[in-house]
């Protein structure tokens, strides 16, 4: 595979431009006081909320998801603050079937991801699917992205984004219709690593799912497949980041790294084609999605270069389920996380039985591999995402 394709792919999953494409100079959000993107279609309507806790955000009133609305759940917009004072926007899905409550309360799940996506994409689909199965769910936009607050825009932080998950638990645990002892989280793609990091600190999280996960600190510091895992490569990467930071400060703007490469080059690796097929086509395109458009700020990967997300993964005591596709280029992140948690090698067979999922369990930690599935299949492919397995996992562990 040619290095330029790995550069383009890394621009999708990591704000760090150490190996990413050059910044798009024509698109510079203001460095101070930048606002959430406001590009809207002529028919789109937006509502400015009046509630004291929601008066800083403009939330879209219409259904603008990339998946159809379910008639089995009630949908609404909610907001809540994290400990950094950033207002987060979320879609909440409540089962219409009240018989699914136990003692008048639902178990609850917070969902986020993929890295560079918005709640109108994969996380909202997961949240709605789990609500159909009896869980009160929220899908939230992380800080600095989508409809959530935080400035400057299109930044990320392993600390703040871990806190985003914890803030979602704050919100859920204080709702009258949620049992605070039965709360779980789902992180998709890059937010799989964030979810596991949250599970490592937040003992209120009773069960965690990381689906088609990336360890964003690992890929940012080491490159894809750990190909740049050496001090010299990281030092050169740091130099590139610091040049970008100086430029941004001098200009009073933040260059953007670019989203999914478009148009798709001839000979692109299969996983770049997969990203394109989701983020750049009607299947998954959304106007607020970073990956669908101009991407993260080019200097946003600074803290990911200097932080190891899964440092305490081996101390997570509550159940964790890691799900990957057999053909996912990212599968090594999930295998590494499983090994970190359990001290046991994943040892996924070179070829799986196409008729059934493969799994390995150590204690209350499980790695599940879906035969034939790619990384992006677990974003929205209802034939590949094992929602009944997720249902079983959460119902077993949120009781």
Residue 53: count of CB within 10 angstroms of its CB: 12
Specify whether the CB–CB gap between 314 and 204 falls below 8 A: no
Name the band, by pLDDT with cuts 50, 70 and 90, for residue 32: very low
Name the percent of the chain lying above pLDDT 90.
Answer: 84
CA distance 291 to 297: 12
- Distance of alpha carbon 159 from alpha carbon 164, whole angstroms: 9
Residues in CB range of 160: below 8 A, 6 or more apart: 82, 84, 86, 143, 150
Higher pLDDT, 45 or 195: 195
45 pLDDT exceeds 70?
no
pLDDT digits (tens, 9 = 90+) for 140-177: 999 999 999 999 999 999 999 999 999 999 999 999 99
Model confidence pLDDT, tens digit, residues 332-372? 999 999 999 999 999 999 999 999 999 999 999 999 999 99
Both tokens of residue 333?
Answer: 């992140």
Residue 11 confidence (pLDDT) above 80: no
CA distances from 321 to 155, 198, 296, 366 (A): 28, 14, 28, 5
Q: Residue 314 has what pLDDT?
A: 97
Name the nearest CA neighbour of 254 among 101, 33, 65: 33
* DSSP state at residue 24: B
DSSP code at position 42: T
Task: Please give the helix or strand (H or E) that residue 205 lies within, else none.
Answer: strand 205-211
Dihedrals φ, ψ of 339, to 5°? -65, -35
User: CA 17, CA 9: separation in Å to the nearest integer?
Assistant: 11
Residues whose CB is less than 8 angstroms from the CB of residue 226 and which lie 6 or more positions away in sequence, other chains included? 218
Nearest to 106 by CA among 134, 138, 72: 134
Q: Is pLDDT at 296 greater than 70 in this prediction?
A: yes
Q: Is the dihedral of CA 374, 266, 221, 295 positive or negative?
A: negative
Given a contact cutoff of 8 angstroms between Cβ atoms, the answer to whether 144 and 297 are in contact is no
Q: What is the pTM of this model?
A: 0.89
* 19, pLDDT greater than 90: no
Per-residue pLDDT reduced to its tens digit, 258-280: 999 999 998 999 999 999 999 99
Q: What percent of the chain stands above pLDDT 70?
A: 86
User: Pick from 390, 349, 393: which is nearest to 371 by CA?
Assistant: 349
Q: Which pLDDT value is given to residue 40? A: 34
Going by the DSSP 8-state scheme, the letter that residue 15 receives in this structure is: S
Average pLDDT over residues 381-385: 98
pLDDT of residue 180: 98
pLDDT given for residue 380 in this prediction: 98
Confidence of residue 221 (pLDDT cuts 50, 70, 90): very high
At residue 56 the predicted structure's pLDDT band, cuts being 50, 70 and 90, is confident
Alpha helices in the chain (DSSP H): 3-13, 122-132, 158-173, 190-201, 216-222, 231-251, 270-279, 331-342, 377-380, 387-397
Cβ atoms within 10 Å, residue 360: 18
| Position with higher pLDDT, 192 vs 45 | 192
Looking at residue 53, its pLDDT comes to 42
User: Would you state the pLDDT for residue 27?
Assistant: 36
Q: How many helices (H) and strands (E) does the chain have?
A: 10, 11
Give the mean model confidence (pLDDT) for residues 224-228: 96
Mean pLDDT for 92-109 is 96
Express each pLDDT in 176-209 by its tens digit: 999 999 999 999 999 999 999 999 999 999 999 9
Mean pLDDT (the chain) is: 89
pLDDT, position 143: 98
Element (H, E) at 304: none
């Amino acid at each position: 595979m040619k290095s330029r394709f790995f550069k383009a792919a890394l621009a999708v999953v990591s704000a760090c431009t150490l190996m990413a494409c050059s910044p798009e100079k024509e698109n510079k959000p203001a460095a101070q006081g930048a606002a959430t993107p406001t590009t809207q279609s002529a028919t789109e309507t937006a509502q400015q909320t009046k509630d004291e806790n929601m008066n800083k955000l403009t939330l879209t009133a219409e259904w603008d998801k990339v998946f159809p609305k379910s008639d089995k759940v009630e949908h609404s917009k909610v907001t809540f603050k994290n400990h950094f004072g950033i207002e987060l926007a979320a879609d909440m899905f409540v089962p219409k079937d009240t018989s699914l409550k136990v003692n008048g309360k639902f178990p609850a799940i917070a969902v986020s991801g993929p890295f560079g996506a918005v709640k109108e994409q994969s996380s909202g689909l997961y949240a709605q699917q789990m609500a159909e199965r009896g869980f009160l769910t929220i899908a939230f936009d992380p800080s600095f992205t989508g409809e959530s607050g935080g400035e400057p825009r299109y930044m990320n932080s392993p600390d703040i984004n871990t806190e985003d998950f914890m803030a979602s638990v704050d919100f859920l645990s204080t709702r009258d219709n949620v049992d605070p002892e039965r709360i779980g989280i789902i992180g998709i793609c890059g937010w799989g690593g964030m979810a596991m990091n949250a599970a490592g600190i937040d003992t209120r999280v009773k069960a965690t799912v990381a689906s088609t996960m990336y360890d964003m600190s690992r890929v940012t510091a080491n490159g894809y497949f750990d190909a740049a895992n050496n001090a010299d490569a990281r030092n050169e990467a740091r130099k590139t980041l610091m040049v970008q930071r100086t430029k941004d400060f001098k200009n009073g703007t933040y260059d953007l790294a670019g989203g999914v490469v478009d148009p798709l080059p001839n000979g692109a690796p299969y996983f770049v084609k997969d990203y394109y097929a989701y983020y750049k086509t009607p299947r998954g395109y959304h106007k607020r999605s970073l990956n669908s458009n101009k991407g993260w700020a080019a200097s946003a990967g600074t803290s990911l270069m200097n932080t190891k997300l899964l440092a305490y993964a081996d101390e997570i005591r509550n159940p964790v389920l890691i799900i990957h596709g057999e053909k996912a280029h990212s599968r090594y992140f999930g295998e590494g996380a499983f090994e970190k948690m359990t001290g046991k090698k994943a040892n996924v067979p070179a070829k799986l039985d196409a008729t059934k999922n493969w799994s390995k369990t150590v204690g209350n930690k499980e790695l599940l591999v879906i035969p034939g599935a790619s990384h992006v299949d677990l974003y929205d492919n209802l034939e590949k995402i094992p929602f009944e397995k997720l249902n079983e996992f959460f119902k077993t562990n949120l009781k």
